[in-house]
Chain A
């Protein structure tokens, strides 16, 4: 396997222009001859599908929910970054680029990030034109706020529902094309495999979740926009159905998987309350703009927060990082919380820290706090039964986002020609840590402003023979999918897929979570295969494959997590350094900060699948930093 990143040479400011110019064009009359299959309808999938249909391509879209509007992008709360510099506070494309490279702990590609910063402004224009109800000033201009560790106010938002509004914007664009018969929409379909013919991606095999029928679709290119793999940890802020299956199946057909160990633990989530829990709820980190994070200075302090006087509180983020205070990047805030609870200083001795709004309420009044964060406070109150206007919130980090994903070149193409990967499902732009309000930006950048150019370049530059679903390879893949479903249904064990998923989650969180060690990872690499064996021996899947069967759906996803979790742990063990969301306890500075090893690990690790029971092969794409001076991140 050869990794050719296709990064344009020359000055970075010109690299996207240069690449776009060099990409071949498909003439307008020929576009309708190409069929593109888009899997997933989050920000990346919906925006890509709509934009490609507008250009004239035949587009078929697949999503596993009952409507494309349900994709998990909808749950993003805080906002979307752009380098508009509307507030006149010193922002620029260059600064957004710089912040993102630094925030990613120097493990992303400079050219990708620069392009992302460049098109960020187009995204805001496009979304505003669609009628996305962004927050506005009294004069009618767009409002901005500072978010997640940025020293400029570059985040655009729609209350605490920015993801929802942006997704509904992309969904409306998608549905416009559905109404115009330019897109064929297939809901309640789950992609279960990829069809590769003569080395190129030519189709997919999906399960119709209503009827259970296995269906085949052929096309000239396949776009995976299938989100992240955070649910490998069982508990995460992801929606229940988020899974790695589409990406993992593509990996097993030849797509390299890059940097799976880069997982983001979000610092402000509602703590775990019991074994019954099905997910963790994120509280937007915009709360850190006004909330102050603290714990008791005393270990094992079980007093209630109002009994702890001011001078016995440790506002540890403000103490450790005076320049950024409560707004340090996510990985740093998460790790700091873990250090506090590891030190026995969690809130009332539990695995949580306080996020306190008393000072903000004193400063700007409860009404103003309600106006800014009302929906988040209500959500917190509802879930915990505690009133955050009176009692400080208790928060704890939770798995939230995954920076790793399928390896893609600058054109978003995987190592399988014709298979593209967009949004959270790919690995490219966030390095080892994603900054707040950058996920929405990347998903929409890929879909609205990158793939419409790069896909054309691929299609115009390839000679693709006609391939239909009657090709023998479709039958072969269909047989594989059916055999796998039959295998899941034949197990007559007693363990529900959830129970086994929960067990996997415990291993992942304990040994492959926030603090990783060689010993723990080696241990996980023993336990995961053992659990996988247990899965296939004991899993109980009731019902049949020829009907709506949510137990079967879940079992299939858990089975893939059982394989993928091992690769994640392997990647974490091999990466003998700490960077961004990947923290190896052996590699830290004397103050407990992540310590990179730029000499040995300034590269992307891309794993190649070598077959059942065989060791995957680790390939390396070196990273160079010609524009941002590589340095130890310092937020003090």
Chain B
């Protein structure tokens, strides 16, 4: 197998890619040789070129999710050499560039793995569990048209900044994929923190954290045992201190609940 040579003398790599026909299929790693890879290509563009060649030869392309290709939509989700979103810190899979690799490297590509994220096909997984957690309480109940003038709700600068740090979560699920327990605590903590830090979130503060925690457990995510792998894998570098806040919020809500 050869790739179109982007620049003469580009890199040659061996990819071991997880192929799985569907949720019921056992799946396994399939080896592909790629040649002439340009360091300016992104990792996903390298897979695009491989896919174009597979299709031209009448073989099925490797299925993988991606959309914005600039690290914000949260759709891309590969485990590369055992790391969710690959080796770069604070970056999504789509932001990984081939200059990170050298000629002759062998690279393994797998889907995010968690009981709550079943494989759809090849590298594509179902992360709808996150949507259901959000639907359980990840909102402020304010109907359209009900708002007061925006400056009637004062949010101190530092609180707003902290809330924004948490709100930066892109819902990609890398925290789950990186956690040995496949826990979704960082995801839930980010949302709970954003609202707990802001005045808008106060009326539903207790109800929200209880509902979201319960939904998380119902989806089959594991528990947090302070591995901190989630923070290390998070492309938005969301801090585990949010999990501490989630735990405080949960305890507080439990105590306050009737």
Contacts and interface: CB of A to CB of B under 8 A. Distances in A.
Of the listed residues B40, B60, B143, B153, the one surrounded by the most CB atoms of chain A closer than 10 A to its CB is B143
B226 interface: no
B151 A86 contact: yes
A234 interface: no
Contact of B67 (A68, A240, A382): A240
B22 A276 contact: no
Nearest to B134: A175
Interface string A100-138: 000000000000000000000010111111110111111
23 contacts: A66-B127, A67-B130, A74-B73, A125-B148, A129-B142, A129-B146, A130-B139, A131-B163, A131-B201, A133-B163, A138-B157, A141-B154, A159-B164, A176-B135, A185-B131, A239-B69, A240-B66, A278-B44, A496-B52, A498-B52, A499-B52, A547-B121, A548-B120
Given A138-B156, A240-B68, 9 more contacts: A65-B73, A75-B73, A124-B150, A133-B167, A176-B135, A279-B70, A282-B70, A449-B144, A498-B52
Contacts of B150: 84, 124-125, 127-129, 134, 142
Contact of A550 (B56, B59, B63, B147): B63
B139 A173 contact: yes
B30 interface: no
Contact of B56 (A54, A124, A385, A495): A495
Interface string B94-129: 010101000000000000000000001100101110
Contact of A47 (B49, B99, B124, B144): B144
B154 A133 contact: no
Interface footprint category on B: 35 or more
A302 interface: no
A178 B155 contact: no
A262 interface: no
A71, A274, A541 — most chain B CB neighbours (10 Å): A274
Given A69-B74, A382-B97, A125 B147 contact: yes
B131 A452 contact: no
B99 A385 contact: yes
A187 B68 CA distance: 17
Interface in A373-389: 379, 382-383, 385
Nearest to B54: A542
B151 A141 contact: yes
Contacts of B153: 128-129
Given A240-B66, A449-B144, A276 B49 contact: yes
A498 B48 CA distance: 9
A134 B156 CA distance: 11
Interface string A279-295: 10110000000000000
A49 B84 CA distance: 33
B38 A274 contact: yes
Contacts of B145: 122, 126, 449
B195 interface: yes
B77 to A, nearest CB: 9
Interface stretch (A164-172, A556-564, A565-573, A574-582): A164-172
Contacts of B66: 240
Nearest to A135: B160
A277 B168 contact: no
A50 interface: yes
Contacts of B45: 276-278
Interface in B5-36: 6-7, 22
A471 B157 CA distance: 57
Contacts of B99: 385
A75 B66 CA distance: 13
Contacts of A71: 73
Given A54-B143, A75-B68, A129 B200 contact: yes
Interface string B55-83: 11011110101111111111100000000
B73 A70 contact: yes
B183 to A, nearest CB: 19
A4 interface: no
A124 B149 CA distance: 8
B198 A75 contact: no
A551 interface: yes
Nearest to A382: B95
A210 interface: yes
B68 A136 contact: no
B253 interface: no
Interface in A167-203: 168, 171-173, 175-176, 178-179, 185, 187
A128 B155 CA distance: 10
Interface string A200-220: 000000000010000000000
B157 A131 contact: no
A603 interface: no
Nearest to B165: A133
B144 A128 contact: no
B61 A551 contact: yes
Interface of A: 47, 50-51, 54, 65-72, 74-75, 84, 86, 122, 124-131, 133-142, 158-159, 161, 164-165, 168, 171-173, 175-176, 178-179, 185, 187, 210, 239-241, 273-279, 281-282, 379, 382-383, 385, 448-449, 452, 492, 494-499, 540-543, 547-548, 550-551
B6 A274 contact: yes
Contacts of B130: 67
A168 B102 CA distance: 38
Given A129-B146, A130-B139, A547-B22, A540 B198 contact: no
Given A129-B146, A550-B61, A278 B42 contact: yes
A69 B187 CA distance: 14
A496 B157 contact: no
A542 B60 contact: yes
B72 A496 contact: no
A379 B72 CA distance: 11
B72 A133 contact: no
A536 B201 CA distance: 54
Contacts of B95: 379, 382-383
B136 interface: yes
A72 B67 contact: yes
Closest 5 CB pairs of A and B: A140-B154, A179-B135, A129-B147, A128-B150, A172-B139
A325 B181 CA distance: 55
A127 to B, nearest CB: 8
B107 to A, nearest CB: 17
Contacts of A168: 167
B55 A551 contact: yes
A93 B147 CA distance: 19
Q: Which interface residue of B6, B142, B145, B150 has the most chain A CB atoms within 10 A? A: B150
B69 to A, nearest CB: 5
Contact of B72 (A136, A161, A277): A161
Interface string B217-252: 000000000000000000000000000000000000
Contacts of A178: 131, 135
A139 B163 CA distance: 16
Contacts of B151: 86, 141-142
Contacts of B131: 67-69, 175, 178, 185, 187
Nearest to A552: B61
B135 A137 contact: no
A282 B71 CA distance: 12
A495 to B, nearest CB: 7
A496 B55 contact: yes
Contact of A136 (B58, B70, B157): B157
B234 to A, nearest CB: 15
Nearest to B153: A128
A135 B156 CA distance: 10
A65 B75 contact: yes
Contacts of A277: 45
B87 interface: no
Nearest to B70: A281
Given A130-B140, A159-B164, A241-B67, A75 B49 contact: no
